[in-house]
Structures are given as structure tokens and as C-alpha cells.
Amino acid sequence: MRAERDERAHVRGAQRGSASDLEALFRTHWPRAFRAAYLVTHDAGAAEDIAQESFLAAIRALDRFDRRRPFGPWLHRIVVNRAIDWTRARHLRGEVELLDSSASSDPPDASGGETLAALARLSPEHRAVVVMRYVLEFTPGEIAEALDVPRGTVNSRLRRGLDALGDAL
Amino acid sequence: MRRELEQIDVPGEHDARERTWSVVQSAFDEREPTPQASHWPRVAAVAIALSAVLAAALSPPGRAVLDEIREVVGVERAQPALFSLPAPGQLLVASDAGVWVVQEDGSKRLLGPYREASWSPFGRYVVAARQNELAALEPDGDVRWTLARPGVRSPRWTGTEADTRIAYVDRTGLRVVAGDGSDDRLLAAGVRGPIAWRPGARFLLAYATPRAVRVVDSETGRTLWQVTRPVGPVDLEWSSDGSLLLVLATRHIRLYGVRGYIFEKTSPKTAPYVAGARPRSGQIAAALSHAGQSKAYIFSGRTLFNGTGVFQELLWSPGGRWVLVTWPTADQWVFVDAERRDQIRAVSNISEQFRSRSFPQVQGWCCAP
């Protein structure tokens, strides 16, 4: 409850132009926004751009934001939808990366590498549902609303995603 | 599962966070909080204004009033002539008379009967195009070299102090030539543009066809990425740091990151029709039009200038402080201080000053000599 009150106060402050309140919101929500984007896209450069653009979009819409709603889910919804769009677009284009884009590859031996590899084998839609449920802690109903799909679809994607990850791990 | 996902290392998280915070902070500083006013008075005012305009348009006296309104479009306290530029640098202007160089003190020199031109990267030379000739000139008009090619247009110069390239279009397609006029070659057959060099030391070039936008390494011809959807682009603009490519089309814009993915697109209602990259930053100024009014703004949302009709170009001063809004509807140039929006300098009678029946095009605002 205290955290929710603090967040509402930060949103109100940011709407009035307080940079310190904006920073509090940013520091609170950046880690999960960036992690969620990375787990869906598997590209650190894209995750940075997506998280950054999502914060910028949030700033642009700040004056219209309803303070009774929690800020985090609103932001994370933007992040995940952009991450899904990006992943689909990359797949469609068979993108060739610029040689000087340094922050785009995954370290093969990073901690959690097996989980990451297993996650990579899922479709972006399945990855997004798993990430929203277990990283962003959305309920299935909230995921359905955020992705604009029926709740049954969310449940089946979650089940299939977890089955595939369980098999792989 | 939660624990497994939280244990995954995300590369570069700290640096990414600090970079993003810096961008977010500056976007926040530039934002304009929206006044929380009731919508009804505004709706009523718009309705009343529309009724008045319609009523006026339907009667001869009304049309006379509208003509008068047209005459008073523009910044009221504009200077009658360009006495000076508000910031160091030189302008390159194309009018019916040819291409002009305008110095900081307002003095002008006509380089010759060229149609288009572009500054070299450090402003020491100009590349200019006329019907069947590409020419490299010094800003005082001395010709360094020329190249005869059919139907030359859209010359663009890029590079470093050590090495430069000029891209241009002729009847064969998109061509590239070295800054000294040597090694002219066809890069992409049949391409008509628009084209835009990516800022930086590598010679990476974005160009558009009616059905695609491509970014290629002009040295090897290798395509780095492309978007093959029919976007019908009318202009391409890189941000000064080379991190963003803005594709302006008739009814929308798309903003691409360096690897070619979209992270901003707009609907027809909110699509800007002209844009300009701010030096030394990732910012872009853009203008959009609605109900006969144009608004120039920084892409993150801050308004720079509003006016009736259309704006033709948005050019940043080399230092990145002033934006030149060229305004054919008012026959004016309006210099807006992007750091202090109450600072505006307007100049009238632009067409006459450049001996032009049509409104002149500003093709570059380059570095101080």
C-alpha cells in the first residue's frame, strides 16, 4: 500500500514537472522494463531502444495518465507490445545488422544461458506471455487485456510455454 | 520459473539504464505540460470559428475579408530584409535565380544557375547540380571540378576531413563519386531517391525506392538492412548522431533504429510533413499540419512555432540552438531559439531578396568558416 501511495505521489509530481519524481519512477520501473524487453527480443540493443522509447511514450502521455491506475503495468504493457512488434518485424525482414552495432548479441555463456536458449525457441507471443506472467507479475486476465487476446489464449500460451521450457530445462 | 528468469544476465544493463535516463531526462525537460482545461469551450470556439469561416467564404464581402486575413499571415514584427543570421554559419539557398551562399552578416553571393546544392562536411565546398552537370565549388563561386551527367539532382556530400563522398541521382540511378571528382560509379540502377547519408565516418547511405527503404554501405554495395513494405517515402532524414532514420511519407512517418526496426510510427492525422535533425543530438524537429495551421515541434513533443499554412523546411543552426522555419505562406523565414521560445526573429520578403518568383529553398545551414 505504501509503495502504491508513493507511486501515485511520484506520478502526480512528474505531471507537475518534478524531475526527481520522474527519476523515482524511472529507477523503479527501468529494470523490469529492460529485462522484459530483452527476454522477448533476445537483443540487448533492441531492448534498450524499446525500453527507452516506452519511457518516452509514457512521458508524452503523462498528462493524460489517470493517477488512480498503477504506472508500472501501464508502462510494461507498452514495452511488451513493442517488443513483440520488433521481434515479428525482425523475423519478417530477415534483418542484416549494421557492423558497428555492438550491443546486439547475447553472451553464449551468460548466467541463465540455458533458460534464455529455451526461451528463444518459443514464438514471440509465447515468450511475451511467460515474461508478463513471471517477470512482470501480471495476472492472466491482465495479460489478456494488455495483449488484446482472449483469456483462454493466454492460459494455453502459458501452458505451452511452460511445457516447452520444462522439457528444455 | 520466476527465479530462472530473474537469474538471466542482461548484457550492458547498467550502461543502458544510464543512457536511457539521460535521454528520458532531456525529453522530460522539453515537455510542455498540457493545460487541464475543459474541452467544451474549445469545441464551442472551434465550431464558432468554422461557422464564421464558412459564412465568410460563401459571400463576396466574406471572401474579401478572407483575402485580408491571408495578407496578414506571418510574424508581425518581421525585419524587411535579412540583415544577419542569429547564429554563426552560412546558409545555402536555391531560388529561381540559382544557388546562393548567405553569410552570417546577411551578405549573399549567387554561385550560379544551379538548381540544388549541398555543403561539404566542413562547409569548405559546395556541390551543386544543374540539368546535366554536377559541380564542386568554393563558397566564393570558384569551380573546382565538374562532371557531365544526364539529369543530375539530389547531390549530398558526406565524410571526414580525410575522405569524402558525394551521392547524387541521374538518369542511370543512384551514383557515388569521391569528393575530388574521381571514381564516379553507379551504386543502384534506376533509383530516384530520396537519399540521405548516415552521419559518421563510414559511408552508409539510406535511399528509397517506391517500394523500399534501404541502408547500404556505399563502399561495398552491401545492403545493411531494408524495409520492403511500400512506404512511398518523400524524404529521409538521419538524426545527427546517426541513431535514427526518419522516413517521411505522404500520410505517415516511420522512425527506424540503426538495425532497421520501427520504433515510432504515426497515423495520417499526426504525421509530420517536414523534419530536420538537430546537430550534436538525437533530436529531430518536425512540422505537422491540421485544419490549415502548421506546428513546428521537437519530436518528443515540445512546440517551437505555430503558423497558418505550411512550412517548407526546418533547419537547425550548426550549434543546435536556433531552428529556421521557412514559411512560404507568409513569404517569411522565422528563426526560433529552441532554448528560449520567446526569442523569435522573422524576416519578410524572402522571395524578392533571392530574385525568385517561387519561394526559395534553404538547402543547408553549415558550419562557421
Q: What is the mean pLDDT of residues A14-21?
A: 87
| Nearest chain A alpha carbon to B257 | A49
Task: Name the more confident of A106 and A158.
Answer: A158
> What pLDDT was estimated at residue B56?
43
Residue B10 to residue A34, Cβ atoms within 8 A: yes
Rounded distance between C-alpha atoms, residue B247 and residue B191, angstroms: 16
User: Closest partner residue to B5 among A39, A50, A82, by Cβ?
Assistant: A39
- The size of chain A, in residues, is 169
In this prediction the pTM is 0.58
Burial of B301 from C-beta contacts in 10 A (0-12 / 13-18 / 19+)? middle
Residue B11 to residue A15, Cβ atoms within 8 A: no
Which residues neighbour B68 within 8 Å (Cβ) at sequence distance 6 or greater?
A: none
Q: By the CB < 8 Å criterion, does A100 face chain B? A: yes
A contacts of B300 (beta carbons < 8 Å): 56, 59-60
Q: What is the mean pLDDT of residues A66-88?
A: 85
**Identity of residue B151:** G
Average pLDDT of chain A? Answer: 80
The residue extents of the domains of chain A are: 2-92+107-168
Q: Which three cell numbers stand for residue B295?
A: 506546428
- Number of helical (H) and strand (E) elements in chain A, helices listed first: 8, 0
Class of domain A2-92+107-168: mainly alpha
> What pLDDT was estimated at residue B315?
94
> What pLDDT was estimated at residue B243?
81
> What pLDDT was estimated at residue B38?
35
DSSP state letter for B198: P
Which residues neighbour A74 within 8 Å (Cβ) at sequence distance 6 or greater?
A: A58, A65
Max CA distance (Å), chain A: 50
Task: Name the more confident of A29 and B5.
Answer: A29
Task: Name the more confident of B81 and A161.
Answer: B81
Pair B251, B289: CB distance under 8 Å: no
> What pLDDT was estimated at residue B49?
38
Q: By the CB < 8 Å criterion, does A106 face chain B? A: yes
Run of H or E residues at B341: none
> What pLDDT was estimated at residue B203?
92
| Backbone angles phi and psi of A67, in degrees to 5 | -65, -15
> What pLDDT was estimated at residue A93?
45
Rounded distance between C-alpha atoms, residue B169 and residue B186, angstroms: 9
Rounded distance between C-alpha atoms, residue B293 and residue B273, angstroms: 13
Chains A, B: CB contacts within 8 A come to 152
- Write down the ipTM of this complex: 0.83
Sites in chain B below the pLDDT cut of 70: 26, 30-72, 229-232, 251, 258-270, 300-301, 341, 368-369
> What pLDDT was estimated at residue B220?
92
- Best residue in A56, A82, A85 to probe B by mutation, most B CBs within 10 Å? A56
A contacts of B258 (beta carbons < 8 Å): 45, 98, 101
> What pLDDT was estimated at residue B341?
64
> What pLDDT was estimated at residue B132?
94
